[in-house]
Amino acid sequence: MSTAPNMVVGQSRAARWAFNGSVIILCLWVLVPIYLLLSNALSSPSAVTAFPKSIVPSFDTESVEFFLFFNGVGKALWSSVQVAFLTMVMSILIGAPAGYALSRFDFRGKNLFRILVLMTRAFPLPLLALPMAIMFIKVGLDDTVFGLAIVHTTLALPFAVLITFSLFSGIPIELEEAAWTLGCNRFQAFMKVIFPLVLPGIAASAIFAFVVSWNEVFAAAVLTIEHRTLPAFLLQSLDDAPLHLKFAGGAVLVLPALIFIFFVRKYLFAMWGIANR
Amino acid sequence: MAEIQIKQVAKRFGKFDALHSIDLTIADEEFLVLLGASGCGKTTLLRIIAGLETATSGEVHIGGKRVDHLPPKDRGIAMVFQNYAVFPHLTVFENIAFGLRMAKMDQAEVDKRVKRTAGLMHIEQLLERYSGQLSGGQRQRVAVARALATEPDVILMDEPLSNLDALLRMEMRAELKGILAESNTTTVYVTHDQVEAMSMADRIAIMQGGHIIQAAAPVEVYRNPAAHFVGSFIGNPPMNFLPAKKVDDGVWSVAGATINGPHSSKNELNFAIRPEDLTLDHNGPLQAKVALIEPLGSHVLASCNIENNLFRVVLDSDTSISSGDILGLQPLSDRVRWFDPETELAV
């Protein structure tokens, strides 16, 4: 932190104020909604709708309890877990080899490939929703956990590829070459030398894929009826629900994602090229 | 039997020719150094012997067996890399044992060999540490121990000492030479440091621009450089060169002086002599004007000017001269060398 810009000698006080001010505003922008969500989820139903509100929540778990035992929530939660787990496994199984190939080999069209992988994220999902639903019905994947997992994998793959790409690029190829001279074939060198070193990063990448699937609501809402995931379920049923239930539901959705991302932030920074040492 | 034969090996990267038809035979248990500046192709040649690169054309034979289609693990080689490539997630013991475990050796034998090799490299006390806890010099010893533990027929080394500080480098040079001499392996060693090459090699193969210019014992390369490049690359300070014009058959004019030289159909040659192969003589044929004096302790290095050519002389440390003096120099006649200015080869 000793080289933060606001410590530069000679920078005017006005500029420092502007910088610090914008940092504070950005932090509030993210933190205030999360605070509101959590504090209201932990308040009794009457406290949520009361006005004026107290800053400190009343730590009443009635809203959360009601939410958890609401009909259909358990099933939706289980569907979410299944879809997210499948997404996680498929993203890594497809994404990690792609990341390895990108980091170790040079082939024609390599840069184009990298850009295309990233560009798939730019494609608006709503445009695809209806045609995809029709195709899924034709193929028989409609309203299945596996079908939704395929869509989520497509959404998570660019991240899996790019995170693993930066992971593998950080491992010097000499380590593999040394293993080759010591009696390993390519696969053995990968398993004995590279894999232990990238395991933490792969785990982070997997968790990120999990979170992408967990939060996804649009495709889930369109493609599932009986096997709704939690976000889709909440979208459908909580429209008519009272405010405190919405807060509780929101908190249950947001919290796991928040916690997971916090633990893997180091690897996401690596993906964007920022060192966080 | 681990003789290495390189037959007409060439390597091309895209449009760039890194190696032009290299022919080289390395005898069993010989210590051969590939010496040259950056980009000359020495590391590429080493990697082709190792199997980490495939030659564009040509053959590589190790121990009489043709290996150019074999992966590194089937060639009977071990390699030490410039950046050591010690596995960071394994202890020093497991690093050294790595090749042995891949060969499915039993634990007792693994233990014996690891302890013996670690003892050779003086790292027995580090066996339970991880590479992150080691200094550069220690990591380098682990890398060498790991290669030696497999008791290979051939050991390949890619500038293993270049990342060490000067004093450590000197110590390791002597140690490595001793260990490798005892171990009965053929060694191919890549370096850009000519002192390392002179000190360690049985033979030096000097490379430039993808060609081997000369491959001979250190003293031979030093005394009888096959090309202008060799004379100027080997030796510190490097060889001196002066243009020579033919006066008569076998008689040449060098900086105004008349000197006997080779019989040649050419009218111009380059006259060459090493700085330490000159004696001070008032009546000597070469007259050099001193520009810079460097008292280096063991000797005095005088950088002089002969007809606008840089000419260095090594003098006894007690010599007292000053800048601007004119020195008379007598070259030792059996140490004078001549080079063709067009082909750059020795005459």
Q: How far apart are CA B267 and CA B259, in angstroms?
A: 14
Q: How far apart are CA B43 and CA B41, in angstroms?
A: 6
Residue A90 domain flag: yes
Clarify whether residues A80 and A183 are in a common domain.
Answer: yes
Mean pLDDT of all residues belonging to chain A: 82
Q: Which of B45, B23, B50, B49 is nearest to B35 (CA)?
A: B45
Number of domains in chain A: 2
Q: How far apart are CA A158 and CA B131, in angstroms?
A: 34
Report chain B's C-alpha Rg in angstroms.
24
**pLDDT of A275:** 44
Contacts of residue B87 in chain A, CB cutoff 8 Å? 175, 178-179, 193
Name the minimum distance, in Å, from the CA of A201 to any CA of chain B.
15
Q: How far apart are CA A211 and CA A257, in angstroms?
A: 6
Name the minimum distance, in Å, from the CA of A165 to any CA of chain B.
20
Do residue A174 and residue B81 have CB atoms under 8 angstroms apart?
yes
A156 contacts A94 by C-beta, under 8 angstroms: no
Q: What percent of chain B has pLDDT over 70?
A: 100
CA atoms within 13 A on the CB side of B336: 19
Name the minimum distance, in Å, from the CA of A100 to any CA of chain B.
18
Do residue A181 and residue B78 have CB atoms under 8 angstroms apart?
yes
Clarify whether residues A52 and A83 are in a common domain.
Answer: no
Span B293-310, pLDDT tens digits: 999 999 999 999 998 899
The more confidently predicted of residues A237 and B248 is B248
Clarify whether residues A53 and A80 are in a common domain.
Answer: no
Give residue B268's Cα distance to chain centre. Answer: 31
Contacts of residue B88 in chain A, CB cutoff 8 Å? 197
Residue type, B71: P
Helix (H, G, I), strand (E, B) or coil at B219: helix
Do residue A177 and residue B150 have CB atoms under 8 angstroms apart?
no
Name the minimum distance, in Å, from the CA of B343 to any CA of chain A.
39
Clarify whether residues A79 and A194 are in a common domain.
Answer: yes
Residue A274 domain flag: no
Do residue B146 and residue A197 have CB atoms under 8 angstroms apart?
no
Clarify whether residues A233 and A144 are in a common domain.
Answer: yes
Going through B14-103 in order, the beta strands assigned E by DSSP cover 16-26, 31-35, 57-62, 65-66, 77-80
- Residue B224, judged by CB atoms within 10 A of its CB (0-12, 13-18, 19+), counts as middle
Clarify whether residues A50 and A162 are in a common domain.
Answer: no
Q: Domain ranges for chain B, please list them.
A: 4-233, 240-339
What is the average pLDDT across B50-60? 93
Span A60-94, pLDDT tens digits: 677 777 777 777 777 888 888 899 999 999 999 99
Query: In this predicted complex, what is the ipTM?
Result: 0.85
Q: Which of B95, B151, B17 is nearest to A192 (CA)?
A: B95
Clarify whether residues A60 and A76 are in a common domain.
Answer: no
Residue A210 domain flag: yes
Q: How far apart are CA B218 and CA B234, in angstroms?
A: 9
Measured from the Cβ of residue A106, the count of other Cβ atoms closer than 10 Å reads 6
Q: Comparing A107-116, B51-60, B223-232, which segment has the lowest mean pLDDT?
A: A107-116
Contacts of residue B51 in chain A, CB cutoff 8 Å? 180-181
- Whether A5 and chain B come into contact, CB under 8 Å, resolves to no
Last residue of a domain, one of A37, A64, A91: A64
Clarify whether residues A101 and A76 are in a common domain.
Answer: yes
Give residue B283's Cα distance to chain centre. Answer: 38
Contacts of residue A179 in chain B, CB cutoff 8 Å? 87, 98
In B, minimum Cα distance to A177 occurs at B52
Residue A245 domain flag: no
pLDDT band for position A231 (cuts 50, 70, 90): confident
pLDDT band for position B214 (cuts 50, 70, 90): very high
Name the minimum distance, in Å, from the CA of A273 to any CA of chain B.
23
Contacts of A10 (CB under 8 A, 6+ apart): none
The pTM of the full predicted model, rounded to 2 decimals, is 0.79
Q: Which of B72, B83, B88 sits opposite A181 (nearest CB)?
A: B72
Clarify whether residues A88 and A53 are in a common domain.
Answer: no
Contacts of residue B150 in chain A, CB cutoff 8 Å? 182-183
Do residue A183 and residue B51 have CB atoms under 8 angstroms apart?
no
**pLDDT of A48:** 66
Clarify whether residues A43 and A82 are in a common domain.
Answer: no
Q: Which of A257, A94, A265, A89 is nearest to A164 (CA)?
A: A94
Contacts of A24 (CB under 8 A, 6+ apart): none
Measured from the Cβ of residue A103, the count of other Cβ atoms closer than 10 Å reads 16
Q: Is B304 left (phi over 0), alpha (psi -120 to 50) or beta?
A: beta
**pLDDT of B218:** 95
Span A125-173, pLDDT tens digits: 888 888 888 888 898 888 888 989 999 999 999 989 988 888 898 899 9
Q: What percent of chain A has pLDDT over 70?
A: 85
Size of interface A-B (CB pairs under 8 A): 55
Clarify whether residues A167 and A51 are in a common domain.
Answer: no
Q: Comparing A127-131, B260-264, B326-330, which segment has the lowest mean pLDDT?
A: A127-131
- The CATH superfamily assigned to B4-233 is P-loop containing nucleotide triphosphate hydrolases (3.40.50.300)
Residue A261 domain flag: no
Do residue B102 and residue A181 have CB atoms under 8 angstroms apart?
no
pLDDT band for position A277 (cuts 50, 70, 90): very low
Last residue of a domain, one of A47, A64, A81: A64
Contacts of residue A181 in chain B, CB cutoff 8 Å? 50-52, 72-73, 77-79, 147
- The CATH superfamily assigned to B240-339 is Nucleic acid-binding proteins (2.40.50.140)
Residue matched to tokens 């494609």: A123
Clarify whether residues A47 and A150 are in a common domain.
Answer: no
Mean pLDDT of all residues belonging to chain B: 92
Alpha helices in chain B (DSSP H): 42-50, 92-102, 107-120, 136-149, 166-182, 194-200, 218-223, 228-233
Q: Which residue(s) pair with B242 in the sheet?
A: B271
Do residue A184 and residue B102 have CB atoms under 8 angstroms apart?
yes
Q: Which of B341, B331, B336 is nearest to B269 (CA)?
A: B341
Q: Which of B77, B83, B146 sits opposite A174 (nearest CB)?
A: B83
Q: Which of B70, B74, B79 to mutate to test the interface with A (most CBs of A within 10 A)?
A: B79
Q: How far apart are CA B278 and CA B280, in angstroms?
A: 7
Contacts of A87 (CB under 8 A, 6+ apart): A149, A152, A153, A156, A209, A210, A212, A213
What is the average pLDDT across A20-26? 93
Contacts of residue A185 in chain B, CB cutoff 8 Å? 71, 73
Contacts of residue B103 in chain A, CB cutoff 8 Å? 183
Domain that holds residue A58: 5-64
